[in-house]
Structure 1
Amino acid sequence: MTDTLTGTPPRDDAAAPAPPRPVCTRRTDRRWTRSKVALLVLGIVLGLLTIFPLLWMVSGSFKTAAEVNSATLLPSAPTLDNYRYVFTEVPFLRYMLNSFFISATITVLALWFHSMAAYALARLKFRGRDTIFLLIFSTLLVSLPVILIPTFVVVRALGLVDSYAGLIVPAIFNAFGIFLLRQFYVSLPAELEEAALVDGASYWRIYRSVILPLSKPILSALAVFFFLANWNAFVWPLTITSDPDLRVVQLGIATFQQQYVGDWNYVLAAATVAALPTLLIFFFFQRQIVESIKNAGFK
């Protein structure tokens, strides 16, 4: 059809393509303001204050005793004699093996028991479940010095003083791991378990085949937390052991401080060796730590 007045075909506005919308780009203000500069300076100062003791420890481990006592920042001629003395004249390697065995054993057993307890408290419905979780969570408010003597009395009654079992068993149970895992399990979709129950799977099979594979990120982060906490343990090993063969690395460093009061180069070398595994573990597993905190239900 044509227009009766002009003889031109009518204009089909509906079929005409719409003009492109202007793309709104949000400009980011990258100007340096006084507040940004102040925050940057504050961050740099705090970072330097945090890392300076570590740098001083590492540099001091390569100094002689005279250079350490003179408080020079860098060694004039770096030496490995301090490390050689630590590993030859003192059974420091035995201390590190003790700490590694105790920390690894506690980590594996704690992850196993904590994951089962957290799954039961998050997914299974039984009477008194919330009360049990509240009691477990309330133990986070109790500090170690409060329960140190009662725990020692119990361990001594069981005959576990001066033994690996006395160092391992009391450290397995920790409410923090149960709480973190329960928060993670609560956030999982219930359809996964319902589908497994329809297929005839038991709760143990669901825990083993469904829950544990999904828990790898948070279990990795908890493994780092547990290992580092037990690697740096000092008060409980000092309380429960007197046998030098059971001495852990932190007690070994304390022994160094008592025996070599004037020879801080040996103490700094031992402290550097003890800190190296913790730094490596955190460097390789920092992503898992961040992901666990982000996905653990802290909303």
Structure 2
Amino acid sequence: MTKRFSIASVFRHGALVLMCVLAIVPLYWMAISSLKNESEIFTSSIIPLKPTLGNYTYAFTQMPIVRMIVNSFGISIMMTMLQLTTSLLAAYALVRWRFRGKALIFSLLSVTWLIPFQAIMIPNYVLINDMGLNETWLGIVLPFCVSTFAILSLYQSFQSFPGVLIEAACIDGLSDWGILTRLILPNTRSTVASLGIIQFINAWNEYLWPMLVTKKMENAPIQIGLKLFVNSDSNMWGSLMAATTVSCLPILLIYLVLRRQIVDSFIRFGIK
């Protein structure tokens, strides 16, 4: 039995090592390709034979990389804060208040979660275009200011909050805003923080809508800027790898600092 257990353990650890290698190799290849010159970039060498920083110099001169990274952070933070604010208010209203049509509203929210964004993308684009919000942060953020996933997640969390405490707060004369901000929110901050991390990552990885709204590099998030760079100069693969490597560094640093909270967020909400 011990031998069988050890064999199974070896297979499990071997599978984990294989998955780690498959995840790391593309990142490693991207990093070393950014240090290769044009004649070497298509070779199978696993290390740059003649390392050069020329790709980084060219990328920074041809692309507003810092501006695009700032755009990505600004858009992601704005989107996350708006989603958390609207979700907190909506979840609290659904849990705390009793009114006619509450079950219908909850059902409609659940149904909207099943509708893909591509189905409403064109009407959203027409609306944003008519409002003159193209090439702006607000034009990217506005269609995502409400998240059904966040509302339903906080709804489940608020439902488990002891109703006795809420009733005691009402007797003490605390308003609904006070109950939310001074009683419920401090006691559910771990859930809200975990949800915020998930929403930030989703906002950072958003690609299709920002690509539709922004056409200029200086107004685009970093992912769209990289695509525009490929379209403008498709032969400079070394510079593209350099720009991609730089774009990965901020989110990598955030992960290194908050890795425990990020993993806990994935576990809490069952996202892989």
TM-score by length of 2: 0.89
Q: CA deviation at 1:250?
A: 0.9
Aligned-partner Cα distance in 2 for 1:220–1:93: 27
Decide whether the 8 Å contact of 1:167 with 1:236 is kept in 2.
Answer: yes
Aligned equivalent of 1:164:
137
Deviation for aligned residue 1:252: 1.0
State which of 235, 243, 253 in structure 1 corresponds to 2:226.
253
Structure 1 residue 249 displacement after superposition: 0.8
Deviation string 1:215-263 (CA, Å, 9 cap, x unpaired) is 3222222222222222222211121223443122111111222233222
Distance 1:47 1:293, change over 3 A: closer
Q: Output the amino acid matched with 1:242.
A: K
Aligned residue among 122, 125, 146 for 1:173:
146
1:146-161 to structure 2, matched below 5 A, reads: 146-161=119-134
Aligned pair in 2 of structure 1 residues 207, 44: CA closer, same or farther (>3 Å)? same
Give the letter aligned to residue 240 of structure 1. V
Task: Name the residue aligned to 2:61.
Answer: 88
Aligned residue number for residue 164 of structure 2: 191
Q: Distance in 1 between matches of 2:238 and 2:99?
A: 59
Q: Say yes or no: does 1:207 pair with 2:180.
A: yes
Counterparts of 1:297 and 1:110, CA distance in 2: 19
Shift, 1:53, TM fit: 0.9
Normalised to the residue count of structure 1, the TM-score between the two structures is 0.81
Tell me by how many angstroms 1:149 deviates. 0.9
Counterpart selection for 1:279 from 239, 249, 252: 252
1:266 Cα deviation (Å)? Answer: 0.9
CA distance in 1, matches of 2:269, 2:220: 35
Stretches of structure 2 lacking an aligned partner (at least 5 in a row): none
Is contact 2:63-2:229 (8 Å) kept? no
Give the share of equivalent positions with the same residue, in percent: 35
Q: Distance in 1 between matches of 2:172 and 2:20?
A: 54
Instruction: State how far apart, in whole Å, the 1-side matches of 2:240 and 2:169 are.
Output: 56
Tell me which amino acid in the other structure corresponds to 1:80: L
How many aligned positions are there? 271
1:227 aligns with 2:200: yes
225, 242, 265: which is aligned to 1:269?
A: 242
Q: What is the deviation of 1:169?
A: 0.9
More helix by share: 2
Aligned to 1:16: none
Q: Distance in 2 between matches of 1:274 and 1:234?
A: 14
In 2, Cα distance between the equivalents of 1:296 and 1:188? 18
3-state SS, counterpart of residue 159 of structure 1: coil
Partner of 1:12: none
* Equivalent-residue separation in structure 2 for 1:62 and 1:297 (angstroms): 38
> Could you report, residue by residue, the CA deviation over 1:180-226 in whole angstroms, capped at 9, with x for unpaired residues?
11111112222221221121111111001112212322222222222
* 1:86 and 1:270 in contact (8 A); partners too: yes
The answer to whether structure 1 residue 140 and structure 2 residue 130 are counterparts is: no
Distance 1:196 1:291 in 2: 31
Report the Cα distance in structure 1 between the residues aligned to 2:263 and 2:95, rounded to whole angstroms: 22
Distance 1:188 1:290 in 2: 24
Moved more, 74-83 or 130-139: 74-83
39-48 vs 195-204, which deviates more?
39-48
Greater shift in the superposed pair: 246-255 or 155-164: 155-164
Amino acid at match of 1:102: I
SS in structure 2 opposite 1:65? coil
Larger relative CO (CA 8 A, sep 6+): 1 or 2? 2
Unaligned runs of 5+ in 1: 1-27
Q: Name which one, 1 or 2, has greater alpha-carbon Rg.
A: 1
